[in-house]
Structure 1
Amino acid sequence: MNGWIKLHRQIMENPMYFAETFTRVQAWIDLLILANHKTGYIYVRGNRVEVHRGQVGMSEESLAERWKWSRGKVRRFLKHLENEQQIVQQKSHIKSLISITNYEEYQQTVQQTEQQTGQQTITNNNDKNEKKGSNVHTNVDFDVFWNAYDKKVGAKDKLRRKWNKLTNAERTAIMEYIPRYKQAQPDKQFRKHPATFLNNRAWEDELIMPHETDKSKSNQFVVNNW
């Protein structure tokens, strides 16, 4: 069968997208959707990890939760894709990156695609959408935020839809804010619920770090004992 389609990342906002356990084909398409269209970064346990164009920065655990699979099934599936030379995996004690082989072939322009036959293409329109200022979906998937924030309470599906409506700049600001927020409030029971954090745009709040509080108390002690 010849021809191609455009598949927008906003398909993830459709309630049917996560309604059922993923098939293997759905999982493969999901990886294509999750792959970065340009170099960016994510935070893993407070460490900044660079994610290049065509890479997915998600762990087996996050993919298992996303696809409603076991971790073993995810591992076997990724190994199969690697054996078929569809992906390359990079793993360490900090990061887990999946590189889509021949990613550029999935990102051709309409004109390039029309000049070829027998090739199915998923076209990435993120660059065009960013210029228009619209919300764009990037590799900063909701599950990355969910795991980084580390207070897993609330209706996850509603939170995911809220996250998917954020802009690139907002998601980046949140991921940069979280490590400092956790440092300022290390006890997770006193952190805001994820829904409150997102709805109130808490990442724009000023943070008071523990050492700043200690310094303030020290200065107060000096003044009182002058």
Structure 2
Amino acid sequence: MAGWISLHRKIQEHPFFQEKRSFSKFEAWVDLLLMANHKESKVLLGNEMIKIERGSFITSELKLMDRWSWSKTKVRSFLKLLEDDEMIIKNTDKKKTTITICNYTDYQKNETTKEPQTNHYETTEKPQKDTNNNVNNINNFNKEIDKETSRKNAFQIFESEGFGTISSFIAEMLGSLIDDFGEERVIQAMKETRVNGSTSLNYTKSILINQNKKRGMNNASNSRTSSGISPEESARISETNERRKRLAGIESGRNSHYSF
């Protein structure tokens, strides 16, 4: 079967694509093609301006693990398979992993092909849309880098503190904890977990949940008076005491009326 189809990157927004699942090798390969830059661009990574060539993109093993629901070993094996078959070039340093799709142009539609007249409006509007999309992509990338950095730190703690091997399930669970409680709290809870002799992330999660409960109790106690009674309770007690005084006064009057 010859020929090709045009696959728009917007397909990544479809619920079928976003369904949480373990990717096949084919899905992972198509995903790499969709993530590659369609034109040269630059992004700010920390205090360094990074130039990203057409057909390349910046990612990390942790991001691919989470995205594909794979283990670290499976991600590395797959990327090595693609490298050995000269389908990608992978360059890794301390900050990032850059993947370049070999023969990227072969996967792209000839941009000089004359479009039908019906596409005139789309063609005239496309430069502005591309500019806006590139700006959005850079902003989203920087947010993703910040998120990935925090996850990387937590993953490093997981391995260095002896919790065990990071599977796709662990990667998802740890990422959820970071999203819910924040990086610093998760790392501190992980260290407390190890101090208490456990290597379970469920134990770490229970620490974080208990911390939230204690914070809630402290907030409630702050609304109480110095005597330990809330303003509402104090008002009710005062009202009851006044009622008792009035009743006592009436009773006293009755007794004096009948005394000799």
- What is the TM-score when the length of structure 2 is the normalising length? 0.47
Which residue number in structure 2 is paired with residue 26 of structure 1? 27
Which residue number in structure 2 is paired with residue 146 of structure 1? 144
Counterpart of 1:38 in 2: which secondary structure? Answer: coil
After TM superposition, list the pairs within 5 Å mapping 1:30-41 onto structure 2: 30-41=31-42
Unaligned 5+ runs, structure 1: 113-126, 155-186, 190-226
- Mapped contact 1:56–1:139 kept (Cα < 8 A): no
Matched, 1:133 2:149: no
Counterpart of 1:99 in 2: which secondary structure? Answer: strand
- 4+ residue segments displaced more than 6 Å: none
Instruction: Letter of the 1:4 partner, please give it.
Output: W
Which residue number in structure 1 is paired with residue 10 of structure 2? 10
After TM superposition, list the pairs within 5 Å mapping 1:175-214 onto structure 2: none
- Measure how far apart 1:71 and its partner are: 1.5
C-alpha offsets along residues 160-208 of structure 1, whole Å, 9 cap, x if unaligned?
Answer: xxxxxxxxxxxxxxxxxxxxxxxxxxx978xxxxxxxxxxxxxxxxxxx
Distance 1:47 1:103 in 2: 26
Unaligned 5+ runs, structure 2: 114-122, 152-177, 186-260
- Measure how far apart 1:50 and its partner are: 1.8
- Mapped contact 1:44–1:95 kept (Cα < 8 A): no
- Mapped contact 1:62–1:143 kept (Cα < 8 A): no
**Structure 1 range deviating more: 46-55 or 144-153:** 144-153
Change (3 A) 1:60 1:108: same
Distance 1:35 1:81 in 2: 15
- Measure how far apart 1:140 and its partner are: 4.8
- Measure how far apart 1:94 and its partner are: 2.4
Greater RCO structure (CA 8 Å; 6+ sep): 1
Matched, 1:109 2:130: no
Which residue number in structure 1 is paired with residue 77 of structure 2? 76
CA RMSD, Structure 1 to Structure 2 (Å): 3.2
Which structure is larger by alpha-carbon Rg, 1 or 2?
Answer: 2
Count of aligned pairs: 143
- Measure how far apart 1:108 and its partner are: 3.1
- Measure how far apart 1:132 and its partner are: 5.3
Structure number with higher helix proportion: 2
Instruction: Letter of the 2:144 partner, please give it.
Output: W
Q: Percent identity?
A: 33
